[in-house]
Chain A
Amino acid sequence: MSNIIEILPELNIAFFQTLLMVGIALLVAVLLGLPLGIILFITDRGLFLENKWVKSVVGILINLIRSIPFIILLVFLLPFTNLLLGTTIGPLAASVSLSVAAIPFYARIVESSAREIDKGVIEAAVAVGASPWMIIKHIILPEAKPGLITGLTITAISLIGYSAMAGTIGGGGIGDLAIRYGYYRYDNTVMFTTVILLIVLVQFVQYSGDFIAKAVNKR
C-alpha cells in the first residue's frame, strides 16, 4: 500500500501523459485519417469521383505504413521526430509516431464504414445534382457517423496499447511506468495498479464510444 501512495504523483503524471499522447494521435487521425479514408471511398469504382490512380496511390501508401510493426516504426521515425520537435523524449515526441500509426489505421476504418452506406442513397444525391463536397458533407459523413465513432473507439484503444510501447523508448505514460517499476524493479504492486488503471481507461473509452455511436444512430 505504501508504495502505491509513494508513486501516486508519478502515476498521476503518467496517466495524463498517456492521455496526451493518445489524444494528440486521435486528433491527427481524425484530421488526416478521415479525409484519406473518404478519398479511398469516393475514388472507388462506380462512385462519383472514381479515380483508379488516386485510389491506388493512397491505398499503397496506407498499406506501406500499416505493414511496419509499431515498435519498428517507432525507431524508424526517431529522426523525423527529432527534425519536427528537436527532441525524441517525452509524450509529445511519442505522439508523433503514434499519430503516424493512427492515420492509416483510422483511414481504413473510415473507408469500410463508408462502404456500409447503401450505394443507392449516394446515387440519389448524385441524381439530385449535388456536388461531391455536398455529398460528402451531407450524405456520407452523417450516414457513416455511427461507424466513424465506433472506429474512433477502436483506434483509441489500440493507441492506448501502442502508447505503452512508445513509453519504453522515452515517451512516458502509464506503460512506461509499468515497465520501469514492474519489469526492471520487480515491483508487482505498481504493475498491477497500472494494469488496473489501463483496464479502467479502456473500459471507459469503449463504453463512451458505444454510447455515443448508439445515440447518433437513427437507422
Chain B
Amino acid sequence: MIELRNLTKEFKSKKDRIVGVDNVSLTIQTGEIFGIVGYSGAGKSTLLRCMNILERPTSGVVRVDGVDLLQLSSKELRKTRQSIGMIFQGFYLVSSKTVYDNVAFALKAAGVENSIIRERVEELLNLVGLRDRINQYPSQLSGGQKQRVSIARALANNPKVLLCDEATSALDPNTTKSILALLKKINKELGLTIVIITHEMEVVKEICHRCAVMQDGRVVEQGSTFDIFSSPSDPLTKRFIETVLSFELPAKLLESIQGKLVRLQFRGDMAAEAVVSDMLQSFSVKGNILHGKVEYIQDVPLGIFIMEVNGDELEVDQALDYLRGRVSKVEVMDNE
C-alpha cells in the first residue's frame, strides 16, 4: 500500500544541513498495522509526514496505493490526501467549531454534497463512540474524546491509509488502550492500512503486525512484531524491548546465586513447565525459577523465564544443550 524508495529528507538551516530521514526504503502492506519506533529526533515523524507530503522529501519515491505522490500537481495531491487520513499527538481540532463541524469540514473539503454530510458525520461519530457529543466544542472534551473526534475526521472520506503521529503519547494508559482498541477495530472492520509512529513499545506490542526501529534517520531493524520482540538484533531494538520485557532481579538474590543463571525463551505453543521438569528429571541438576512472564504479542504468547541451574558443570552444560533443542532461545546470563 505504501512504498518508500531511498527516501531522504534534509533540512537546510543557514549554516548546515540536517538529515532528518536518511535513505529509507520501506514497504507497508495493504491492511496491516505498521509501527515505526524510535526516540525523539530519530526522524520517524518526518518519515511519516513524507507519506502524505506534509513534508516534501529531498529525494526518493513515495508511492501510496500505486500513485507516485511526488509527481502530482497540488490539486491532484489534495485529492489524494483525502484518501490518506492522519491523526496527531496534539489532536488539532478546530476549537471554534463543534464536534459535528470538525468532522463535517473534512467532508466539505472533499466536496461531499451537503445532503449526505449530516448522515455521514453521525455514522462516523457512532463508529468512534461519540454520537452524544455531536454539538459540543473541543474544549468540553477529554483528551481521549478529542482523539476520537480526530479519528472520525481522518476517516471521513473513506481513506485507505491512516497515519498516526504519536497519536497516544499525550494520553493516559487507560485511554491509550481504548484508542488502540479503536484503531484495531477499524483496521479489522474497514481493512484500513495503519501506520503508527510511537516511542512506546507497549503500543507496538499491542497492535502492530510489523514494525521498524529508527535511529538517526535510518531504519536499523524491521520485521514482524513477534520476531522483533523474541529476537531483537540491534542494540537499540534490545533497549526498546527491555522497556516492555524487563527482568530486574534483586541484587541480594544475584549475590546468592551459585549455579548458572539462564534465560529461557518460549514460543507460546510450548509448555514451559513441562520442558523444564523434563530437563530436571533427565539430568542430575537442580533448577530454581527466579522470574517468569508470558507476554502476548499480537495474541501470540511469548514466555520468558529466568532460572538458576545448579550442579556438576558437565551435567549443567548437557542440561542446557537439552534445553536448546527444546525451547526457542537459551541464554546464559552474567551473574553480575
Q: Are A121 and B92 in contact (CB under 8 A)?
A: yes
Q: Kindly state whether residue A44 has any CB partner on chain B within 8 Å.
A: no
Report the bound CA distance from A130 to B102 in whole Å: 13
Contact yes or no, A118 B108, CB < 8 A:
no
Decide: A127 near B52, CB < 8 A? Known: A118-B92, A121-B92, A138-B108: yes
Q: Mark B87-98, 1 if CB is under 8 A from A, else 0.
A: 010101111110
B108 touches A142 (CB 8 A): no
Say yes or no: is B44 at the interface (Cβ < 8 Å to chain A): no
Judge if A185 is at the interface, Cβ distance under 8 Å: no
| B109:A124 contact, CB within 8 angstroms | no
The complex places the Cα of A107 from the Cα of B94 at a distance, in Å, of 23
Cβ < 8 Å to A, chain B residues 92-150:
92-97, 105-106, 108-110, 137, 139, 150
Known: A218-B137, A218-B139, A219-B139. A128 touches B92 (CB 8 A): no
Contacts of B157 in A (CB 8 A): 128-129
CB within 8 Å of A: which residues of B? Answer: 52, 54, 78-82, 84-86, 88, 90, 92-97, 105-106, 108-110, 137, 139, 150, 153-154, 156-157
In the A-B complex, the 9 residue pairs with the closest CB atoms: A130-B109, A129-B81, A129-B82, A124-B92, A120-B92, A142-B96, A127-B86, A129-B78, A128-B106
Residue among A120, A128, A216 making CB contact with B105, cutoff 8 Å: A128
A105–B180 Cα gap in the complex (Å)? 49
- CB pair A131 B109 closer than 8 Å: yes
Candidates A120, A124, A129, A134; contact of B79 at CB < 8 Å: A129
Give the most central of B52, B95, B96: most A CB within 10 Å: B96
How many angstroms from the CA of A124 to the CA of B54 in the assembled complex?
10
In the complex, are the beta carbons of B88 and A124 less than 8 A apart? Answer: yes
Q: What is the CA–CA distance of A118 and B332 in the complex, to the nearest angstrom?
A: 53
**Interface pair B96/A216, CB less than 8 Å apart:** yes
The answer to the question of A145 belonging to the interface, with a C-beta cut-off of 8 Å to chain B, is yes
Name the residue of chain B whose CB is nearest to the CB of A145.
Answer: B96
> Which of A134, A216, A217 sits near B108, CB closer than 8 Å?
A134
Q: Shortest Cβ distance from A48 into chain B, in angstroms?
A: 9
> CB-nearest residue of chain B relative to A123?
B54
Contact B96 A143 (CB under 8 A): yes
Name 18 interchain pairs, CB-CB below 8 A, sorted by A: A123-B88, A124-B86, A124-B92, A124-B93, A125-B109, A128-B105, A129-B79, A129-B80, A129-B82, A130-B105, A130-B109, A134-B105, A134-B108, A142-B97, A143-B94, A143-B95, A218-B97, A219-B139
* New A-B contacts (9) at CB < 8 Å, excluding given A126-B54, A130-B78: A118-B92, A120-B92, A124-B92, A127-B52, A127-B54, A139-B94, A139-B105, A142-B96, A219-B95
Task: Compute how far the CA of A121 lies from the CA of B90 in the bound complex, rounded to whole angstroms.
Answer: 9
With CB as the reference atom, state the residue of chain A lying closest to B96: A142
Q: How far is the CB of A77 from chain B (nearest CB, A)?
A: 38
Proximity bits, A99-128, B CB within 8 Å = 1, else 0: 000000000000000000010110111111
- We find that the number of chain A residues with CB closer than 8 angstroms to chain B is 22
Query: With A118-B90, A219-B139 given, is the CB distance from A125 to B95 under 8 Å?
Result: no
User: Which B residues lie within 8 Å of A124 (CB)?
Assistant: 86, 88, 92-93, 150, 153
Of A125, A128, A143, A145, most B-chain CB atoms within 10 Å: A128
Which partner residue on chain B sits nearest A135 by CB separation?
B109
Q: What residues on A are CB-neighbors of B97 within 8 Å? A: 138, 142, 218
A152 to B92, CA, bound (A): 27
User: CA A139 – CA B108 in complex, angstroms?
Assistant: 12
Q: Which residue on A lies nearest to B84, using beta carbons?
A: A127
Contact flag A142-B109 (CB < 8 Å), given A123-B54, A129-B78, A129-B80: no
**Nearest-Cβ distance from residue A82 to partner chain B, whole angstroms:** 44
Contact A128 B95 (CB under 8 A): no
Closest to B163 in A: A127
Distance of B73 from chain A, by nearest CB (Å): 13
Judge whether A218 and B96 touch: CB under 8 Å: yes
Q: In the bound complex, what is the Cα–Cα distance between A219 and B95 (angstroms)?
A: 6
Q: How far is the CA of A143 from the CA of B90 in the complex (A)?
A: 16
The reply to whether B153 and A128 form a contact with Cβ atoms under 8 Å apart is yes
In the complex, A134 Cα to B75 Cα: how many Å? 13
Quick check: B110 and A129 within 8 Å, CB to CB? yes
**Closest-CB distance, B96 to chain A (whole angstroms):** 4
**CB within 8 A of B88: which of A120, A131, A219?**
A120
With a CB–CB cut-off of 8 A, which chain B residues contact A128?
81-82, 85-86, 105-106, 109-110, 153-154, 156-157
